[in-house]
Amino acid sequence: MNPKQIYPRKGNNGTESVYLKSVVKDPNIIVGDFTMYNDFVNDPRDFEHNNVLYHYPLCNKEKLVIGKYCSIACGAKFMFTGGNHSLKSLSTYPFPVFPEEWGLDEWKVARAWDNNGDIIIGNDVWIGYEAIIMQGVTIGDGAIIGTRAVVTKDVAPYSIVGGVPAKEIRKRFNDDTIKKLQDVQWWNWSDEKVKDNLENIINGNINKLQK
């Protein structure tokens, strides 16, 4: 177990999956241990360039925060404020993006769009193939985002969502199990303790995790 290595998988197609924390360089993209990204189309090491879109933190002061033990499928995208357009303007055209052309102050470029803030992804979240997470969204621990879903609103912990726009399909577990999981927070355990409890985690033995 080494969350600092790049490729956690050996053998065929081993270079399709990476631990994101080891390849992301942008300080405004914060990734937890063991979170992995798989890409069979592009080099997964280019995640911050290919998958984090319209992200201009110097201008918009926004971050992408992803928790521990998340699984992100090929082509998932995180869409930030710079891809938005201002709805308070009488025009959707982004005039402030071209300050020299229109004689505007360059420092007011952020007026071209509505800033909805950071994207926050909890722990143990599974984001499906080509899903899109929009700016300002928070996804709770243990949630599942369906293939090609477009997530425009916050997602509750341990919810399964899908569609355009994404809507809740169902909860992964009953309320009692969800509460126990949120209390246990196994993703904050040491690597060794997680390893010792893998059979219980994999087989859904929540009550044994609490012992």
What are the residue numbers of the active site?
A: 85
- Report whether 157 contacts 125 (CB < 8 A): no
The C-alpha atoms of residue 192 and residue 6 are separated, in whole angstroms, by 20
| Nearest alpha-carbon partner for 110 in 155, 58, 145 | 58
Q: Nearest Cα to 137, choosing from 165, 99, 169?
A: 165
Angle at Cα 110 formed by Cα 104 and Cα 113, nearest 5°? 110
The amino acid that residue 61 corresponds to is K
The structure tokens listed for 120 are: 């926050």
149 contacts 131 by C-beta, under 8 angstroms: yes
- Mapped onto helix, strand or coil, the DSSP state of residue 27 is coil
DSSP tag of 145: E
Length of the chain: 211
